[in-house]
Each structure stands twice: as structure tokens, then as C-alpha cells.
Amino acid sequence: MNTEAKDKSGLKLLMVIGTAWLFDAADVALLSFIMPLLKKEWTLTDSQIGLVSSITTVGMMIGALLFGYLADKFGKKNIIIVTLLIFSISNLVLALTMDLPQFLIVRFITGIGLGGELPVASTIIADAFSGHKRSRMLILVDSFWAIGWILASLMAFLFMPLYGWRPTVIITSLMALYTLVIRRHLPEQTNTKNTKLNLKVALGQIFSPEYRRATICLSILWFVIMFAYYGMFLWLPSVLIKRGFSVVHSFGYTLLMSVAQLPGYFLAAYLMGKLSRKRVLEIYLIGTIIGAFLFGTAQTVFMVVFSSCLLSFFTLGAWGIMIALTPTQYPIEVRGVGIGFTQSIGRIGATIGPYLIGFSLGMNLSIATIFFYFVIALVIGILVLIFGMVDNDQKDSSKVATD
């Protein structure tokens, strides 16, 4: 295949997987807009609202490990379609829920689909490319997360006030139709199967002496990044309202927060190959610490907006770098399990983060104190990255025509 054909094939794969990623991001983002509406509609406490977010991430934790394993066993193309259908159909059912228990059950199932789709999607990209190009493509596919947030912002401000949150959620269920596109346009090598693969054996392999260090370090890093991301971003609107900043109600503020994510991804993709991925991730984690500190101590509208954009830029960029780093630490035959396991550990952080903020707000702790949690976690992440992580970009046999 010539260079032009390779580029077209790679771009096509990026767009197909990126669009699926976009819908997942829109779902997570919409939840942050829906949470204040649920609090008012069902008269919920801060702790109950924290549970709404946390139950989704519990489902994602289970989905990441389960479907990462099933993708290695039964083929990634098959499994990504299953995860998208679970996510889409459960969102359709979500619009019919009438109270908090029903909502929690459905969001748990939605989380299983969401959590399963993300590691499988990143594995498909990792299998299709190699070297610095693989890192760039993984970060670029993760940049669709920002586009999903922008789409969710548009729906939250233009559609939701007119029709309510239920019809808005139904829109995301249209993802079921996108499975037809996935089915037609994903390359067949994504359906490579290893039906003899055993989960216990696969987990044993990622904890073998060769991969144990990477698995432990990646698990801690995913925990820290998800703890910070979900804890801060799902509660940002509620935190700002509590502090009396009416700017949080503006479409411009929310859109700016979402758009600020894109240059963070693009800069990280540009730096791949120019600096080591460890060094780039160090820079982004330090930037996230600075953003969290400035946000926690902000006293003016300008500083709120500036620090929020800084958080978006660095936190989502760090997530993209982790997406690029994780798959390359494992051989192709257990790559889905490796990604799924480490991200499922990260989901524990994503579960604790939002609930901890809700609990802390209920105890009337200051915003500065609450955001200090994230500073401590990020410092731990930096130490693990510097002294524990070894960036072994595997030169495996997964190269295909798009290399």
C-alpha cells in the first residue's frame, strides 16, 4: 500500500473510532449538566448526587476489565459493537426512569458499556499503528473527547432548557445506529480472536515479572488522573454555583472550558517524538496541579475562567498521553486485558473523587481544602511516573499496512 493510501486508511480509522469516543464523552459531560436538575427534581442531597456520578464509574470499572478481556478473546470489532449497543439502549431506558434508584441502576449498566468501549477502541488504534505515529494517533483519537464535551454543551444550553433532560439523553441513544458504520468500516484485523484465552492466565501475564512494574505504575497513574478528572470536572458547575459565580450558567463559559481541551491534546500529540512520553506527562501533571491550585484559591471571575481553562488544557492532555502510553506496555495478545485492568483500577479513583467532593461539600469544607486533595494525588502520580514508570514502547507483531 502506498503512502497516500496508508494515510487515508489511517485517517478513516481515526474518524470511525473518534466518533464513537465523541458520543461517550457527550454522555459523561451531559451527566454533569443533568446532576443539578436531578437534585432539584428529586430533592437530592450533595451525597446522593455524588452517588449518581460514582455509580456510573463503578459500571465503567467492571466494563473496562470485562470487555478488554472479551475483545482479546472474541475480536475487538465484535466487542466494540456490543459495548456501543449496551450504552445506547440503556440511555434510551434512562429517559424512562422516575426516581433515584431506577436512575442509579440504569446508569450502572450504561457505565458498563462506556467503560468497555474506551479500552477496546484505544486497543484498535494501538494495534493499527506503531512508534511515534501510534502515540500521536492515540492522543488524537482521545481529542474527540473534547468535541463530545462541546456537543454536550450545545445540547445542554440550546436543547435541554426547551425539552428537558430526558429527550436530551435520548439523543445519545442514537449511537446504536452508529454501530452499523462501525460494522462496515472497521478493518477485519480488529476481529482477530484468541478463543483459548483465559482471564486468569491473561491477568497472570500482565502481572508476570516482565509486565508487573508497568501494570502497577499504570494502575496508580490511571487512579490519580481519573480521581482528579472526575472529581473536579463533574462537580465544577456545582462548586462554582456554591461560590456565587453566576458565570457558570453562561454558554460562553462552558464552551470555553470545552474548547480549551483541544489545544492540550494537540500540543501533546505534537510533542510525541520530540520529548519522551514520560517527560510530556510530567509537564501535564504539573500543569494540572497549578490549575487545581489556582482554581481552589480563585477569587475573581477572570481567575475562575483562567484556572478552569488551565485545568481543561492539562488534565485532558494528561489523559490523552496515558491513552498513548498504556497500550504500548503490553503485547498484542493481552493488550485489551492490560488496558482494561489498569483503567478499571483508575475507575476506582473516578468513583471516589466525585463522592468525596459531595461528602466534603456536605461537611461545609472550603473549596481550597477540597482541591488540595487533588494536588496531593497528583504529586503522588508524578513521583510514581518519575521513579517507577519505565516507558517500554513494545515493538510487537501488531504492525499492519497503516504503519
pLDDT in tens, 93-119: 999 999 999 999 999 999 999 889 988
Q: What pLDDT does residue 138 have?
A: 93
295: nearest Cα among 374, 377, 375, 371: 371
| Residue 365: band (very low, low, confident or very high) from pLDDT cuts 50, 70, 90 | confident
Question: Would residue 395 count as lying in a domain?
Answer: no
Q: What pLDDT does residue 30 have?
A: 87
DSSP at 397: T
Residue 17: left (phi > 0), alpha (psi -120 to 50), or beta?
alpha
Question: What would the pLDDT profile of 190-202 be if each residue is shown by its tens digit?
Answer: 666 666 778 888 8
Query: What is the distance between the alpha carbons of residues 125 and 10, in angstroms, rounded to a whole number?
Result: 9
Rounded to a whole number, what is the largest CA-CA distance in the chain?
Answer: 62
Is the pLDDT reported for residue 402 higher than 70?
Answer: no
The pLDDT > 70 percentage for the chain reads 89
List the end-to-end C-alpha distance of the chain, in Å, as a whole number. Answer: 10
Give every CB contact of residue 272 below 8 A, 6+ residues apart in sequence. Answer: 132, 135, 136, 139, 280, 324
Grid-cell match 474506551, residue found = 118
Tell me phi and psi for residue 250, to 5 degrees.
-85, 145
Q: What pLDDT does residue 403 have?
A: 38
Question: Would residue 217 count as lying in a domain?
Answer: yes
Q: How many domains does the chain have?
A: 1
Question: Would residue 402 count as lying in a domain?
Answer: no
Q: What pLDDT does residue 200 have?
A: 84
| Residue 219: band (very low, low, confident or very high) from pLDDT cuts 50, 70, 90 | very high
Question: Would residue 98 count as lying in a domain?
Answer: yes
| Residue 25: band (very low, low, confident or very high) from pLDDT cuts 50, 70, 90 | confident
Residue 304: left (phi > 0), alpha (psi -120 to 50), or beta?
alpha
30: nearest Cα among 155, 164, 163: 155
Tell me phi and psi for residue 275, to 5 degrees.
-130, 160
The amino acid occupying position 288 is T
Question: What would the pLDDT profile of 118-169 be if each residue is shown by its tens digit?
Answer: 888 998 898 888 888 899 999 999 999 999 989 888 888 888 888 889 998 8
Is the pLDDT reported for residue 213 higher than 90?
Answer: yes
Average pLDDT, the chain: 85
| Residue 394: band (very low, low, confident or very high) from pLDDT cuts 50, 70, 90 | very low
Question: Would residue 396 count as lying in a domain?
Answer: no
**Structural domain of residue 13, as residue ranges?**
3-387
Q: What pLDDT does residue 251 have?
A: 65
Model confidence, pTM: 0.85
49: nearest Cα among 298, 360, 376: 360
Is the pLDDT reported for residue 361 higher than 80?
Answer: no
At 290 the three-state DSSP class reads helix
The domain that holds 354 is classified in CATH as 1.20.1250.20
188: nearest Cα among 117, 124, 116: 124
Q: Output 399 or 98, whichever has higher pLDDT.
A: 98
Report CA-CA distances (Å) from 102 to 42, 238, 340: 12, 23, 27
Q: What pLDDT does residue 395 have?
A: 42
Q: What pLDDT does residue 354 have?
A: 75
Is the pLDDT reported for residue 57 higher than 50?
Answer: yes
Q: How many CA atoms lie within 13 A of 289 on its CB side?
A: 15
Do the beta carbons of residue 218 and residue 224 sit within 8 Å?
no
Question: Would residue 393 count as lying in a domain?
Answer: no
User: What radius of gyration, in Å, describes the C-alpha atoms of the chain?
Assistant: 20
Question: Would residue 400 count as lying in a domain?
Answer: no
Q: What pLDDT does residue 250 have?
A: 61
Q: Output 274 or 351, whichever has higher pLDDT.
A: 274
At 134 the three-state DSSP class reads helix
| Residue 320: band (very low, low, confident or very high) from pLDDT cuts 50, 70, 90 | very high
